[in-house]
Amino acid sequence: MADLTGTTPGTAGLHTEAVLTSRGAAVYLAGELDLESAEQMTHAVRTCLAQRPSHVRVDISELALCDWYGLNTLLHLHREAQRAGITLVLSGAVRPQLARLLAVTGTAHLLTGSGARGISAARPNDPAQSGHCPTSAASADAPHRDPDTPSAGSATVPAGALA
């Protein structure tokens, strides 16, 4: 399968990849999510939302940084998905910087809520039933994901970050 999104001009700090399966969609982020790269992530998530999956899992396990603008963009996409009847949650390990940001803003429950448990393994077992969310942007620099590899699980905020 080809990567469907990747580095675009001006956003060399973020790589995205989106995968659509019969059970939902996943968007994988690697690098830095900030003012300059948020539009790239928005495009990947909206492309998946347009396919009307039951849920979209945003894997942040390779996200090195997420600033306030990146978090604000995730929250806007969460509300957009809710209005469409689609669940959007974060999955993967939450880095301490993002955990603090979620704690300070009181938004951890919105993006890492209990609904994440049911979709943490959104990758398909049958590659014939999966595909990338259709989009025209692609990059050889984007991280390639094997759809048969299980995800890292639901995002959790370390207890110390909420204190």
What is the rounded CA–CA span in Å between residue 140 and residue 161?
36
So what's the pLDDT on residue 32?
Answer: 96
Asked whether the whole model's pTM tops 0.75, one would answer no
What is the rounded CA–CA span in Å between residue 90 and residue 72?
14
SS3 at position 75: helix
So what's the pLDDT on residue 146?
Answer: 42
14-162: which CATH number, 3.30.750.24, 3.40.50.300, 3.20.20.10, 3.40.50.1820?
3.30.750.24
User: pLDDT tens-digit profile of 89-104?
Assistant: 999 999 999 999 999 9
Asked if residue 153 has pLDDT above 90, the reply is no
DSSP code at position 144: P
User: pLDDT tens-digit profile of 4-22?
Assistant: 444 333 356 999 999 998 8
Asked if residue 152 has pLDDT above 80, the reply is no
So what's the pLDDT on residue 57?
Answer: 96
The domain limits of the chain are 14-162
Band of the pLDDT at 23, cuts 50, 70, 90? confident
